[in-house]
């Protein structure tokens, strides 16, 4: 539909005078131009990263800089990852990230179901405590947790990176609870009349109905675990157990900051998995985030 036709439709099908159509067209064009400008400004760092990743060493410090390299160096995508053992780090990161994502989804959906669908004494108090803990910085518990894992002998293992996800995240529990609140109660009551218990209701009814929110939790948890730098830095000591964020951080120091093209090529390979996951599930992601606007009962 053209802008002129849209203007006519807004006017109820009546013929819109030219003096009204022109301001409408100008405002619509200006709006699209502004959105396009903002989109380009956000894509510019990624475009510049791709440009550097394809350049040779001589093109990186060229003045004035140019987006297009004089000669495309596709070998950067082989030599760069080889310098840090990229695929070993990738395997470590995938193990930690996938297990953390599974733990975050299971814990948040189960706790969210219990708080929103099961009536028990202190339910509102527990929800208030969980919601309030969102505002407590995670760095506050870093030293006590480190001492706990030291006493348990779990330092230099992946357990401190994975185990916390199985105890739930306040923001994920809040998101799950809000989505559960939007589901009619008569579904639970009908299932209970038919003899179903809470586990049956959760697995057979709620899991299919809450697909957008648990996919949203999975995407966010994947992003957090994939990009986590602080936790591996604190808990891991052996290079064989490092994750990709640690490997990428050590890249420039190992190469004395002289091979930015290798670094950018490796960095592009680092950001591909979370970007691919988001684009594949972005529709459910937006639906899940919409649950934040649900009015709590």
pLDDT at residue 189 in the model: 83
Per-residue pLDDT band for 22 (boundaries 50, 70, 90) equals: low
Nearest alpha-carbon partner for 214 in 129, 101, 123: 101
Which residues, at least 6 apart from 57, have a Cβ–Cβ distance to it below 8 Å? Answer: 258, 259, 261
As a whole number, mean pLDDT of residues 27-31 equals 83
For residues 109 and 179, give the distance between their C-alpha atoms in angstroms, rounded to a whole number. Answer: 10
Residue 90's nearest CA partner among 275, 270, 271 is: 270
Helices 260-280 + 282-289 axis angle, to 10: 70
Q: What is the mean pLDDT of residues 2-16?
A: 49
Q: Give the pLDDT of residue 150.
A: 92
| Residue 217: its H or E element | helix 211-227
Q: Of residues 89 and 4, which shows the higher confidence score?
A: 89
**C-alpha distances out from residue 113 to 103, 174, 175, 187, Å:** 15, 10, 11, 14
Measured CA to CA, the distance from residue 186 to residue 192 in angstroms comes to 10
Q: What is the DSSP string of 182-202?
A: TS-THHHHHHHHTT--HHHII
CA separation for the pair 269, 79 (Å, rounded): 12
pLDDT for position 40: 84
User: What DSSP character marks residue 139?
Assistant: G
Cα distance between residue 10 and residue 12, in whole Å = 5
Backbone angles phi, psi at 255, to 5 degrees: -105, 15
Q: Which of 247, 284, 279 is nearest to 263 (CA)?
A: 247
pLDDT of residue 97: 94
Q: What is the pLDDT of residue 88?
A: 92
The number of residues making up the chain comes to 297
pLDDT of res. 162: 93
- pLDDT at position 96 is 95
What's CA 6's distance to the chain center, in Å?
36
pLDDT tens per residue, range 90-130: 999 999 999 999 999 999 999 988 888 888 888 888 888 88
The C-alpha atoms of residue 226 and residue 245 are separated, in whole angstroms, by 8
Give 103 or 13, the one with higher predicted confidence.
103
Q: pLDDT tens digits, residue range 169-226?
A: 888 998 888 888 888 888 888 888 888 888 888 888 888 888 888 888 999 999 999 9
What is the C-alpha separation between 217 and 210, in angstroms, rounded?
Answer: 11
Q: What pLDDT, on the 0 to 100 scale, is given for residue 89? A: 93
Selected residue with higher pLDDT from 16 and 53:
53
What span, in angstroms and rounded, lies between the C-alpha atoms of 271 and 148? 32
Query: pTM of the predicted model, to two decimals?
Result: 0.80
Each residue's pLDDT tens digit, 217-261: 999 999 999 999 999 999 998 888 999 998 888 776 655 456 788
- pLDDT tens digits along 137-178: 878 888 888 899 999 999 999 999 999 999 888 889 988 888
> Residues 278, 220: contact at Cβ < 8 Å?
no
CB 213 within 8 A of CB 113: no
């Amino acid at each position: 539909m053209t802008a002129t036709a849209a203007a006519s439709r807004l006017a109820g099908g009546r013929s819109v005078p030219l003096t009204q159509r022109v301001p409408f067209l100008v405002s619509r064009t200006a709006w699209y131009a502004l959105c396009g400008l903002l989109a380009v400004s956000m894509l510019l760092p990624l475009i510049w990263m791709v440009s550097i990743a394809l350049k040779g060493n001589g093109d990186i410090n060229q003045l004035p800089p140019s987006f297009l390299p004089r000669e495309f160096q596709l070998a950067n995508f082989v030599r760069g990852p080889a310098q840090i053992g990229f695929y070993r780090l990738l395997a470590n990161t995938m193990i930690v990230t996938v297990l953390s994502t599974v733990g975050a989804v299971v814990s948040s959906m189960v706790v969210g179901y219990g708080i929103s669908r099961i009536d028990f004494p202190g339910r509102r108090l527990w929800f208030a405590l969980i919601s309030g803990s969102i505002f407590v910085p995670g760095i506050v518990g870093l030293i006590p947790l480190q001492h706990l894992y030291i006493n348990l002998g779990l330092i230099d293992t992946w357990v401190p990176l994975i185990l916390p996800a199985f105890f739930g995240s306040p923001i994920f529990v809040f998101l799950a609870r809000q989505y559960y609140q939007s589901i009619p109660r008569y579904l639970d009551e009908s299932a209970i009349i038919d003899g179903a218990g809470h586990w049956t209701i959760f697995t057979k009814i709620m899991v299919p109905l809450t697909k957008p929110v648990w996919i949203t939790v999975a995407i966010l948890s994947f992003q957090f675990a994939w990009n986590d730098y602080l936790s591996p830095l604190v808990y891991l000591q052996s290079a064989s157990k490092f994750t990709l964020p640690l490997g990428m951080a050590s890249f420039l120091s190992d190469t004395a900051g002289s091979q930015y093209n290798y670094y950018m090529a490796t960095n592009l390979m680092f950001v591909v998995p979370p970007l691919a996951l988001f684009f594949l599930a972005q529709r459910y992601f937006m639906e899940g985030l919409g649950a934040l606007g649900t009015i709590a009962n």
